[in-house]
Amino acid sequence: MNLLAIESSCDETSAAVMVNGELRSNIVSTQLIHTQWGGVVPELASRAHQKSIIPVVHEALQKANINKNELNAIAFTRGPGLLGALLIGTSFAKALALSLDIPLIEVNHMEAHVLAHFIEDPKPSFPFLCLTVSGGHTQLVWVKSPLEMEVIGETQDDAVGEAFDKTAKLIGLPYPGGPMIDKLAKEGNPHRFPFPLGEMPGLDFSFSGIKTAILYFLQKEQKNNPQFIEENKADICASVQKTLIDMLLRKVKKAMKEKNCQQIAIAGGVAANSGLRNGIQELGAQQNWDVFIPAFSYCTDNAGMIAMAGHFKAEAGIFCGQDVSPLPRMDMK
């Protein structure tokens, strides 16, 4: 099975080639144009995908040493994501599959993040719990099999990635702010500024309250000292990061107890955060859990994880027709 995978849900154009479950190439083109606007501009993202998708696919095939005529199927991100961005990847996948007379495989982007754990060893065994954290999603997923996942907890407002990015904006850091907060947090005191830990019923999350608390805190301190942010930037980043990670890990601990589970995985762009990676490993050591963390390159959006999800669907004989269209809001099945 020679499988081409395409990812275009947000601001990365990516293509990957998987041969019999082994990833042969994973090419990612990140759009830098959004930096000047402080966030992803959907129309600009769509145009950048249009420019990048052919050279990115060409490079993926070339690196894998696979000719397009040797492909057996094409997997693509159907959703969730930006409609215009998804439309580019979906349309390209449909056109190429039609021209080669090979089947299509639709992939849920969030399910693919979970299945990124199966690209390389070590791999979790089923069932396991996965904390999926990104700029648009914060979910606790009970993973029963590659094709059966259940969201048992999720954010009721903002995602944790948004909380990182919006905090970064408040303290004058460039977009994307999450990685900048992570970098500065390593130099700061995480206990310097205590912030309230928002609480939600059950296993759900809420990050709107902590964002407001950070905003009011900064406004109050700047009234007394206009240079407060510049003088305390590292400590602010460390304190905010600790608070957000504590909120995540508190729910993880609760979910693991409810499910009587000993395997925890993290996935998504925020899974690249060093504070979260260290925090989940420390909690795992305390609780005697098996902890699974993907390589950095499989945390952020990439077609390798789309290929992995497509591989499992192909094995099960699950394909889709040419009448498929993007779903900006796509739930896990």
Instruction: Give CA torsion, residues 101, 107, 109, 110, to 10 deg.
Output: -170
Query: Counting every residue, how long is the chain?
Result: 333
| DSSP per position, 221-286 | HHHH-TTHHHHHHHHHHHHHHHHHHHHHHHHHHHHHHHHT--EEEEESGGGG-HHHHHHHHHHHHH
Q: Report whether 320 contacts 289 (CB < 8 A).
A: no
Residues contributing to the annotated binding site: 109, 113, 132-136, 165, 178, 182, 273, 301
- Name residues whose C-beta falls within 8 Å of residue 214's C-beta, 6 or more positions apart in sequence: 167, 170, 195, 240
Distance of CA 62 to the CA centre of its chain: 27
Residues contributing to the annotated binding site for substrate: 132-136, 165, 178, 182, 273
According to DSSP, the residues that pair with 31 across neighbouring strands are none
- Name residues whose C-beta falls within 8 Å of residue 163's C-beta, 6 or more positions apart in sequence: 207, 210, 211, 244
* Tally of CB atoms within 10 A around 237: 27
Residues contributing to the annotated binding site for Fe cation: 109, 113, 301
Rounded (5°) CA angle 243-282-125: 110
| DSSP per position, 158-205 | --HHHHHHHHHHHTTPPSSHHHHHHHHHTTS-TTSS-------STT-B
